[in-house]
Amino acid sequence: MSDASPARIERRSLEDDAFRVVSARASLSTRLRNLWARRELLTSLITSDIRIKYKNSALGILWSMLTPALFLAIYYVVFSVFLKNGIPNFVIYLFSGMVVWNMFQNALNAATGVIVVRAGLVKKVSFPREILALANVGAAVVYFVIQVGVLGLYLLAVGHAPAWNYLWILPIAFLALYFFTASVAIVMSAVTVYLRDMEHFMAIILQLWFFMSPVVYSYENSIAAPLHRHGLAWLYFMNPITLIMLTFQRVFYVATTVHSTTSAAVLKILPTWPMSTYFYMNIGLLGVMIGLFLVSEMVFGRLEGNFESEL
Amino acid sequence: MTTVIDVEGVSKQFKIHHGRHQSLKERLLHPKSGSTEVFHALRDINFKVDTNETVGLLGHNGSGKSTLLKCICGVLQPTSGAIRLRGSLAALLELGAGFQTELSGRDNVYLYGAMLGFSKKMVDGIFDDVVDFSEIEQFIDTQVKFYSSGMYVRLAFAVAVNVDPDILVVDEVLAVGDERFQAKCIDRIQTFQNEGRSILLVTHNADQVRSICDRAIVLENGRMIADGPTHESLRIFREHLMDSATEHDHSGVLANISIDSITTPSGSFDVRSGAGMHFDVNITTQTAYSGNFVMEIFTRGGLLVSRSDAKGSPVNLTPGPNRIGIDLPQIPLLDGVYDVNVGVVDPHGNTVVAWKEQAASIQVTYDGRESGLVEMGASIRQQ
C-alpha cells in the first residue's frame, strides 16, 4: 500500500544519466556501441559454451587438446603409410590448413542455428542477438588457439622450425579469418530464422567449400597451372579462406618447393611470393573483411526486426 | 522526480502469415502462397514513468500489454516511435529464460546477471544475497537441470531483484513459488518502492495493481484507454471489461442488465463507525435473470476490506426496474473513505454479468481511540 509506506529513502539521482533509446531502427554505430557495451556477456557465453560442451565427460576440457592430437596421429599414419603423395612432412602442411578450416567450420556449424535454438532466450531477454553467433565464433577461436598449440608441440617434437620471419603476418591473417567467420556466422544465424533449410544446406556448402580450399591438396601442386592458363586464378582467390590458409602454410610448412619423397621430381607446394606480397594481400583482405563485418551487422539489423513473428 | 521511462508515439505491427512456408523448397514452389495480414498490436502509446513511481499496466489477454513491455525491455523494436530509458533496467519477463540447464546454479547466476547487463564484479558483490534470497544454498553447485521448477524460478527472481536495478519491470511473475515466497517477493517490491525506484507491473489482476501501484495504465486492443490514479484506471478497466464481454455475449444476457444507481434512504453516504447503513441498488433488465449479487468494499489505498459471498445472495431479476437492498447492520470501520463496488454474477458465482466499480463512496467517521482499519473493541486487563 503506497499511502501507508514509510518516508521514501532518497537514492542516487538519475538526472545526469543519459537516455538510452529503443527505437525502430538502430544505426550501425549504435549497434556496434551496444555490442561493445555487452562484451562481458560475450565472454560469459563463450565460457559457458565451452563448459557445456565438456560437461559430464571424464576428461573434460582435455578433449579439446586430445582430439586434434589424435587427428594429427591418424593423419601421420595415413599419409606416411597408405596415401604417400610424395610431399615430405605432409602432416604439417595438412594440419596448418586444418586449423584454419576447423575454426571456420566449428563456428558456422554452431552459429547457423543458434538463434533458432535459443529462441526462448531471444524472445525474452534483451541483448544484442548477434552476440549468440559471436559467442560460437569465440568458442571456435578458443579451440583454434588450442589446435595451434598442438601444432606447435608437434613442430617442436619433430624439430621442424616455422618461418620465424613470416610469423608477424600471422596475426593479420588470423584477424581476417576472425572477421570473415564472424560475418558469415552473423548473417547465417539470422537467415536461418527465415529459412530453416539453411542448416542442412550449410552442411553441403561447407563440404564443397572444404575442397575449394587448399587443405588436403597443395594449390600450387595441383590446380594452379590450369587455372593460370585460363586466367581463372582470381576466381580461386575469391575464397578468402585460400589466402589465409596459404599464409598459415607458408609460416608453418615454410618450404615453397620440395623434392618428392617418392620420385625424383621437384614439387611446387606454395606460392613463391615475397614477404611483402603476403603482407599486402593479408592487410588488404583484413580491410575487406572488416568492411564485410560491418555489412553483416547491418544485414542482421534488418533481419532481426521480424524475429519475433518467425520464431 | 526524473523521468526514467519515456514512451513516445510507440506503435507496433506484426505480420501474421497464414500458411506461409518455412522451408526453402516450399517457398520456391509456392512463392506467393499464404496471405499476410498486418496486426496492430500497439497504436500510438504515450506515457512517462518517473522515479519513485510504481505503475501498473493493465489489460486483458491480447490487449498489447506484453508487447509494450517487450518493447520497453528492448526485446522487440517498435515499428514507429521511440522509447527512452534512463538508468539500469531489470526485467522479470519470463523467469529463468536465460538459464543453461547443463550449468550449475552458480554459473547460471553469473550468466543470467551478464544477460541482464550486469558486470561480473557486480554479481560477485551480490552473490551471497542472491543465494540467501533464493534459499537453495545446498544446491547452488548442482546442475540446474536437476532443479525443481520452484527452485529454478526462485533463483532467477533472486538474481533479478538483487542486481540493484533502477527500473524493475515485472510481468505476471508474482504468481510463482509457494505462498511464503510470494510474500517475500511482494515484500521485496515494496522495499524497492521505498527506495524510490521505479516499478512497472504488468498484470490482469486488478487486486494486485490496487495493492501495489500508485498509478495505472489501461490498454485495450493496442490503445491506451486510461492513465491515471489507480482507482480511476481500475474503474475504466472494469467498465471496458464489461463492454467487451457484452460484445462477445451471444445470448444477450449481459447487454440487458445495467446497474443504474446506488442510493441510501437519507441520501447521505456519511456514517458513524459502529452504526448501520442501508443501500438500495437500482438495476434495470430487459429479460429475466437469476444470479447472485456481490458487493465489495475497498479502502482508497486499494485494500479489499470485504467481499460478500458470491454464491450466497441469489437475486431474481424481472424485466424492468429492480431494487436490491443491502443491509450493513454495523460498520466496524475506522475513519476514512471507502469505495463500494456492486455487481451481479451468474448462479455459480463465476462470471460477472453486470458490474459497477466505485458505485458509491462512504465516509466513515470514528471518534474512538483505536487505529487501523476496523474497531475490534479489545478490552485489555491485567489478571
pLDDT (tens digit, 9 = 90+) per residue, A21-54? 766 567 888 889 888 888 888 998 898 888 888 8
Q: Examine the pLDDT at A6 and tell me if it is beyond 60.
A: no
Which three-class secondary structure state does DSSP give residue B278?
strand
Cell of B140: 547452488
Residues 103-122 in A contacting B (C-alpha not used; CB under 8 Å): 120-121
Chain B: give the shortest CA distance to residue A299, in Å.
16
**Dist CA A222 CA A241 (whole Å):** 17
Specify the pLDDT at position B27: 65
Q: Examine the pLDDT at A107 and tell me if it is beyond 90.
A: yes
Specify the pLDDT at position A156: 93
Specify the pLDDT at position A3: 41
Specify the pLDDT at position A25: 67
Cross-chain Cβ contact B97/A125 below 8 Å: yes
Q: Which residues pair with B337 in a beta bridge?
A: B363
More confident residue, A8 or B40: B40
Cross-chain Cβ contact A14/B83 below 8 Å: no
Q: Are B103 and B142 in contact, with CB atoms under 8 Å apart? A: no
A306 dihedral zone (left: phi>0; alpha: psi -120 to 50; beta): alpha
How far apart, in Å, are the Cα atoms of B207 and each of A117, A148, A258, A275, B103? 38, 62, 84, 76, 38
Q: Examine the pLDDT at B162 and tell me if it is beyond 90.
A: no
Domain range summary for chain A, segments of one domain joined by +: 37-310
Task: Write the pLDDT tens digit of every residue in B275-307.
Answer: 889 999 999 888 888 888 989 898 877 778 888
Q: Examine the pLDDT at A19 and tell me if it is beyond 80.
A: no
Segment B139-167 mean pLDDT: 83
How far apart, in Å, are the Cα atoms of B142 and each of B102, B120, B147? 9, 20, 8
- Using a CB–CB cutoff of 8 Å, tell me whether A1 touches chain B: yes
Specify the pLDDT at position A289: 96
Which three-class secondary structure state does DSSP give residue B172?
coil
- Substitution target in A40, A54, A114, A123 with the highest count of B β-carbons within 10 Å is A40
Cross-chain Cβ contact A124/B98 below 8 Å: yes
Cross-chain Cβ contact B193/A3 below 8 Å: no
Cross-chain Cβ contact B75/A19 below 8 Å: no
Q: Are B68 and B221 in contact, with CB atoms under 8 Å apart? A: no
Specify the pLDDT at position B33: 58
Q: Which residues are CB-neighbours of B104 under 8 A, at least 6 positions away?
A: B140, B141, B142, B143, B144
Grade residue B245 by pLDDT with cuts at 50, 70 and 90: low
Cross-chain Cβ contact B17/A309 below 8 Å: yes
Cross-chain Cβ contact B103/A48 below 8 Å: yes
- Using a CB–CB cutoff of 8 Å, tell me whether A9 touches chain B: yes
Cross-chain Cβ contact A197/B73 below 8 Å: no
Q: Examine the pLDDT at A279 and tell me if it is beyond 90.
A: yes
Grade residue B244 by pLDDT with cuts at 50, 70 and 90: low
Specify the pLDDT at position A7: 40
- Using a CB–CB cutoff of 8 Å, tell me whether A16 touches chain B: no
Q: Are A79 and A91 in contact, with CB atoms under 8 Å apart? A: yes
Please say whether the structural domain B3-234 has been given the CATH code 3.30.750.210: no
Task: Write the pLDDT tens digit of every residue in A291-309.
Answer: 999 999 999 988 887 787 7
Specify the pLDDT at position B176: 60
Q: Examine the pLDDT at A88 and tell me if it is beyond 90.
A: no
Q: Helix/strand/coil (H, E, C) string of A31-79?
A: HHHHHHHCHHHHHHHHHHHHHHHHCCCCCHHHHHHHHHHHHHHHHHHHH
Rounded (5°) CA angle B187-B189-B194: 95
Residues 183-202 in A contacting B (C-alpha not used; CB under 8 Å): 194-198, 201
Q: How many CA atoms lie within 13 A of B355 on its CB side?
A: 23
Specify the pLDDT at position B274: 87
Which residue has 579451440 as its cell numbers? Answer: A143
Q: Which residues pair with B291 in a beta bridge?
A: B315
Segment B297-323 mean pLDDT: 85
Q: Examine the pLDDT at B252 and tell me if it is beyond 70.
A: no
**Dist CA A182 CA A300 (whole Å):** 12
Strand residues in chain B grouped as ranges (E) = 3-18, 35-50, 54-58, 80-85, 89-92, 167-171, 198-203, 215-220, 223-229, 258-263, 270-272, 277-285, 289-299, 304-307, 314-317, 320-328, 336-345, 352-365
Q: Which string of b and e fits B327-341 if b means at least 16 CB within 10 Å?
A: ebeebbbbebebbbb
B55 dihedral zone (left: phi>0; alpha: psi -120 to 50; beta): beta
Q: Are A137 and A186 in contact, with CB atoms under 8 Å apart? A: no
Which three-class secondary structure state does DSSP give residue B117?
coil
Specify the pLDDT at position A141: 95
Cross-chain Cβ contact A124/B94 below 8 Å: yes
Cell of B13: 505491427
Question: Which of A14-18, A102-106, B46-50, B72-76 comes out lowest in average pLDDT?
Answer: A14-18
Find the residue in A nearest to B54 (Cα). A2
Domain range summary for chain B, segments of one domain joined by +: 3-234, 251-365
Rounded (5°) CA angle B163-A123-B189: 35
Cross-chain Cβ contact B100/A52 below 8 Å: yes
Cross-chain Cβ contact B102/A52 below 8 Å: yes
Cross-chain Cβ contact B103/A52 below 8 Å: yes
Candidates B266, B265, B264, B275; CA nearest to B366 is B275
Specify the pLDDT at position A4: 40
Q: Which residues are CB-neighbours of A300 under 8 A, at least 6 positions away?
A: A129, A130, A186, A187, A189, A190
Q: Which residues pair with B294 in a beta bridge?
A: B343
- Using a CB–CB cutoff of 8 Å, tell me whether A204 touches chain B: no
Most confident of A277-291, B103-117, B152-166, B313-327: A277-291
Q: Examine the pLDDT at B175 and tell me if it is beyond 70.
A: no
Domain B251-365 carries which CATH code? 2.70.50.60
- Using a CB–CB cutoff of 8 Å, tell me whether B309 touches chain A: no
Q: Which residues pair with B343 in a beta bridge?
A: B294, B355
Please give the mean pLDDT across all residues of chain B. 82
Give percent of chain B above pLDDT 90: 5
Grade residue B242 by pLDDT with cuts at 50, 70 and 90: low
Cell of A145: 588457439
C-alpha gyration radius of chain A: 24
Q: Residue A266 burial by CB count (10 A; 0-12/13-18/19+): exposed, middle or buried?
A: exposed
Segment A165-189 mean pLDDT: 95
Whole-structure pTM value:
0.76
- Using a CB–CB cutoff of 8 Å, tell me whether B373 touches chain A: no
Task: Write the pLDDT tens digit of every residue in A265-277.
Answer: 888 888 888 889 9
Q: Are B200 and B173 in contact, with CB atoms under 8 Å apart? A: no
Q: Which residues are CB-neighbours of A204 under 8 A, at least 6 positions away?
A: none
Q: Residue B3 burial by CB count (10 A; 0-12/13-18/19+): exposed, middle or buried?
A: middle
Specify the pLDDT at position A2: 40
Q: Examine the pLDDT at A101 and tell me if it is beyond 90.
A: yes
Question: Which of A11-15, A255-259, B143-147, B149-153 comes out lowest in average pLDDT?
Answer: A11-15
Specify the pLDDT at position A111: 94
A59 phi and psi angles, rounded to 5 deg = -85, -15
Give percent of chain A above pLDDT 70: 93
Q: Are B113 and B122 in contact, with CB atoms under 8 Å apart? A: yes
The DSSP annotation for B180-202 comes to HHHHHHHHHHHHHHHTT-EEEEE
Task: Count the helix, strand and coil residues of chain B and give each as a percent rounded to the nearest 5.
Answer: 30, 40, 35
More confident residue, A164 or B19: A164
More confident residue, B212 or B18: B212
The torsion of the CA quartet B254, B258, B259, B265, rounded to 10 degrees, works out to -140
Q: Examine the pLDDT at A18 and tell me if it is beyond 70.
A: no
- Using a CB–CB cutoff of 8 Å, tell me whether A124 touches chain B: yes
Specify the pLDDT at position A114: 93
Candidates B118, B213, B230; CA nearest to B170 is B213
Q: Measured in whole angstroms, how far is the alpha carbon of residue B182 from the centre of its chain? A: 15
Q: Are B3 and B87 in contact, with CB atoms under 8 Å apart? A: no
The DSSP annotation for B55-80 comes to EEEE--TTSSHHHHHHHHHTSS--SE
Chain A: give the shortest CA distance to residue B214, in Å.
7
- Using a CB–CB cutoff of 8 Å, tell me whether A259 touches chain B: no
Q: Examine the pLDDT at A145 and tell me if it is beyond 90.
A: yes
Q: Which residues are CB-neighbours of B297 under 8 A, at least 6 positions away?
A: B304, B305, B306, B307, B338, B339, B340, B341
Q: Examine the pLDDT at A138 and tell me if it is beyond 90.
A: yes
- Using a CB–CB cutoff of 8 Å, tell me whether B119 touches chain A: yes
